Copies of this chain bind each other. A is one copy, B any other.
Amino acid sequence: MDKEQVMDLNALRKITYGMFVVASKKGDKINGQIANTVFQVSAEPPLIAISINKLNLTHEYISESKVFSAAVLSEDTQMTYIGLFGFKSGRDTDKFKASKYKTGVTGVPIALDFTIAYFECEVIGSYDAGTHTIFVGKAVGSEILDDTKEPMTYAYYHEVKKGFSPKTAPTYIPKT
């Protein structure tokens, strides 16, 4: 007897994520965006995978420069900051004009305003996941900036901060 297929995509909302600013560069241009799909995939060497929408400017920058940074955002990150990096495009807005960053060893910008830790990576490979690309990067720099604050989780952003996700998010699920 065949099993009955059950498909409730809301189950995917139960996956836990953090909140990050992933940033990159192209020539002397820099940009960054909010991402929640950032995770370590192996320990030796330390490899980090991120999933970025092909429509995003940061995707173009990472594809070209082969370097990116990921800044771990604290729980007290202001919603206006997430609005700037998550809901505006770098094609229209210079996101780093009014926000603090430093330049890493790879030349990428590293967002600083609400960052408790960051790492920067050199891309060693990628995987085409349709609407998104999984970039796999080797960590070449990493630092804890504030060990007293908790990282913001994606659930905290949604439940406590009442935040939304843009349609370009890998975890976007239309309301049914």
Indicate whether A98 reaches chain B with its CB closer than 8 angstroms.
Answer: no
> Which residues of chain A in 8-35 are interfacial with respect to chain B, using CB atoms and an 8 Å cutoff?
8-19
Given A14-B117, A16-B17, A136-B134, verify A46-B9 contact (CB < 8 Å): yes
The distance in angstroms between the C-alpha atoms of A134 and B17, with both chains bound, is: 17
A19 to B15, CA, bound (A): 9
Q: How far is the CB of A13 from chain B (nearest CB, A)?
A: 8
- Asked whether, in the complex, the Cβ of A43 is within 8 Å of the Cβ of B170, the reply is yes
Question: Does A151 lie within 8 Å of B14, measured CB to CB?
Answer: yes
Q: Which residues of B contact A103 (CB under 8 A)?
A: 3
B3 pairs with A105, CB closer than 8 A: yes
Q: Which residue of B lies closest to A70 (CB)?
A: B15
Q: Is B41 in contact with A139, judged by CB distance below 8 angstroms? A: no
Report chain B residues within 8 Å CB of A48: 12
Q: Chain B residues near A72 (CB, 8 Å)?
A: 11, 14-15
For A5, A6, A15, A150, the residue with the greatest tally of chain B CB atoms inside 10 Å of its CB is A15
A173 contacts partner chain B, Cβ-Cβ < 8 Å: yes
A99 at the interface (CB under 8 A from B): no
Q: What residues on B are CB-neighbors of A5 within 8 Å?
A: 105, 140-141
Q: Which of A59-67, A85-93, A124-132 contacts B (4 or more CB under 8 A)?
A: A124-132
- What residues of chain B lie closer than 8 Å to A9, measured between beta carbons? 46, 139, 142
What are 5 A-B pairs with beta-carbon distances under 8 A? Answer: A9-B46, A12-B117, A40-B171, A41-B51, A45-B130
New A-B contacts (8) at CB < 8 Å, excluding given A6-B143, A16-B154, A41-B129:
A12-B119, A13-B117, A14-B151, A16-B18, A16-B151, A43-B131, A49-B49, A49-B134
